[in-house]
Structure 1
Amino acid sequence: MLLVCTGNVCRSPAAELLLRSALDAVGAAGVVVTSAGTRALVGEPVHPPMAQLLEDAGAPTGSFTARQLTAQDVRDADLVLALAREHRSAVVTLVPGALRRSLLLSEAAAAAAAAQHAGWPVGPGHTAAARLGSLPALASRHRAPDRAAAVDVPDPYRGPEEVYRASFQLVRDTVDQLVRALR
């Protein structure tokens, strides 16, 4: 799974680290979660205000460094989750074939919640990892005409503290919704 934002120092690292931790907690530790930026601040750590929020939430940033999004990253990912519409557009522009497996983080969470409500398939092969892989198809089936589930996470970079908190909380809530639905 690949998460994409602009600089890869706030939103996508927060989603990556929170998702990795949450997936480990529900027994989906085998799911590889990475992130990259469309205009990454390559080599930079998570921006300090976001890093502090992650630390406080029990998701330490460790040796995380920002990476530039590449076509190979997109080709290698089974699922690409963008933090805003502009990032999904950048992914699809870079690799047009990724259209069907790229969606917003918020759309993935909404699709997972709808599938959970309808009843996920159970039995062999219906693991959290398999469910994650089915999210793009589910998102297109459950997508509302008004695209109400398509919520962009605001970019907090160099903004006021309250924007960092709001962005972090939106990412955290969306990740929680997604992982809760995968159980």
Structure 2
Amino acid sequence: MISQPPSEPPAGISRREWRRRTAGASTPASTPSSGPLPGLFASTESAAARPQNARPTILTVCTGNICRSPMAEILLRRSLEPLGVHVHSAGTHALVDHAMPEPAQQMAIALGADAGIVDAHRGRYLVEPMLQDADLILTMSREHRSRAVQMMPRSLRRVFTIREFARLASTLSTEDARAAADAAGSDPRERLRAVALAVADQRGLSEPIADEDDVIDPYRRSREIYEQSAAELTPAIAEVERIVGAALG
């Protein structure tokens, strides 16, 4: 059953307080973002409440948050957490509290993910404060990208499908990415946002081919489709790692 977020606060709670309680935007540094959640949404810390020196944050998004976006999250965490990056994921129609399907778990582990982290993942619903808080938002399809922009229009230039990001970033050298980050100063979050903008500036320089900016959804499909999905995802992850590494490495 697909879970929907509550739209109205309970009696006696203001809308502002309800938004704060249901934010789920951030996870404390000591708590893995993919760990089991105590309720529908995870932590209640809003973006406004985060200290200015909070970690740079990448959010990955798919539909159910049990196949594509957690795989992207887990693989990016493996390489980018040493650079101080917080990576987490959510779904536009999340299967809340569901684990990754067995084929997705096997695929992630085969690609080098830690089995314990894979096993701990539980689906979460995408809510607006997650988008507000993220410095880079990587969706698995154009549909998810559109949904994220509809939820928060001002996030447009830091929302990409992950394969779109890779396609655009391929026209940006590592040195140019580093220069864009350097121009933003020393704050890691500003450096990550600066390289996201530099990648966004490549829009229009290369023409997308229909469907090639999407990662195929393998849910409830054959193992071959899971393998295709992973094959589409992994080169894009490598390009994200290159660009983020240039900014923060």
**Per-residue deviation, residues 56-98 of structure 1 (Å, max 9, x unmatched):** 2221303110000011111111211111000011111112222
Query: Hey, what's the Cα distance between the residues in 2 that align with 1:18 and 1:86?
Result: 22
Name the residue aligned to 1:151: 213
Shift of 1:17: 0.4
Shift of 1:130: 5.2
Give the aligned length. Answer: 180
Name the residue aligned to 2:193: 133
Say which of 103, 110, 117 aligns to 1:49: 103
Tell which structure's C-alpha radius of gyration is larger.
2
Shift of 1:171: 1.2
Name the residue aligned to 1:99: 156
Report if the CA contact (8 A) 1:111-1:138 is conserved. no
Name the residue aligned to 2:36: none
Secondary structure class of the residue paired with 1:4: strand
Query: Hey, what's the Cα distance between the residues in 2 that align with 1:64 and 1:35?
Result: 10
The share of aligned pairs that are identical, in percent, is 36
Greater mean alpha carbon deviation, residues 171-180 or residues 144-153: 144-153
**Per-residue deviation, residues 154-176 of structure 1 (Å, max 9, x unmatched):** 00000111110010121112101
Shift of 1:2: 0.7
Shift of 1:131: 5.0
**Per-residue deviation, residues 103-159 of structure 1 (Å, max 9, x unmatched):** 111222233333225633286946886553224322332123522496100000001
Query: Hey, what's the Cα distance between the residues in 2 that align with 1:115 and 1:19?
Result: 20
Query: Hey, what's the Cα distance between the residues in 2 that align with 1:21 and 1:115?
Result: 24
Say which of 49, 60, 70 aligns to 1:3: 60
Query: Hey, what's the Cα distance between the residues in 2 that align with 1:84 and 1:131?
Result: 25
Which aligned pairs between 1:59-78 and structure 2 lie closer than 5 A?
A: 59-60=113-114, 61-78=118-135
Q: Structure 1 residues 129 and 59 mapped into 2: Cα distance closer, same or farther (>3 Å)?
A: farther
Amino acid at match of 1:50: A
Greater mean alpha carbon deviation, residues 163-172 or residues 35-44: 163-172
Which aligned pairs between 1:84-123 and structure 2 lie closer than 5 A?
A: 84-116=141-173, 119=176, 120-121=178-179
Report if the CA contact (8 A) 1:9-1:41 is conserved. yes
Amino acid at match of 2:96: V
Task: Choose between structure 1 and 2: higher helix proportion.
Answer: 1
Report if the CA contact (8 A) 1:31-1:129 is conserved. no
Name the residue aligned to 1:169: 231
Q: Which has the higher contact order (CA 8 A, sep 6+)?
A: 1
Report if the CA contact (8 A) 2:171-2:202 is conserved. yes
Secondary structure class of the residue paired with 1:33: strand
Q: Give TM-score, length-normalised by structure 1.
A: 0.86
**Where do 5+ consecutive residues of structure 2 fail to align?**
1-57
Shift of 1:48: 1.0
Query: Hey, what's the Cα distance between the residues in 1 that align with 2:127 and 2:66?
Result: 16
